[in-house]
Structure 1
Amino acid sequence: RCYIRFIRKVNEKKGAEGQEETRKAFDFMLSYV
């Protein structure tokens, strides 16, 4: 569920900041799983 929301947020944010946040969130998800 959170994963889908995360993807939607990433799709909404497209740019340098969005990419950086996506990277952080992705690493967080990997460590979380």
Structure 2
Amino acid sequence: MWIQFMCTRITEALNVSNVNTFRAVLLYLFFLEET
């Protein structure tokens, strides 16, 4: 139970950071196209 809880938390944190990184890359590419 405890291990499952920890794994869910870690997975959620990784998913959030992955989404943020993906957004940052998209914004960076968008600004590169603008210039």
Do they fold alike, i.e. is TM over 0.5?
Answer: yes
CA RMSD of aligned residues (A): 1.3
TM-score (norm 1): 0.56
**Aligned residues between the structures:** 20
Bigger Rg, which one: 2
Which consecutive residues of structure 1, in runs of 5 or more, have no partner in the other structure? 1-13
The one of the two structures with greater contact order (alpha-carbon pairs below 8 A, sep at least 6) is 1
Structure 2 residues without counterparts, runs of 5 or longer: 23-35
Query: TM (normalized to structure 2)?
Result: 0.53
Percent identity of paired positions between Structure 1 and Structure 2: 5
> Which protein has the bigger helix share?
2
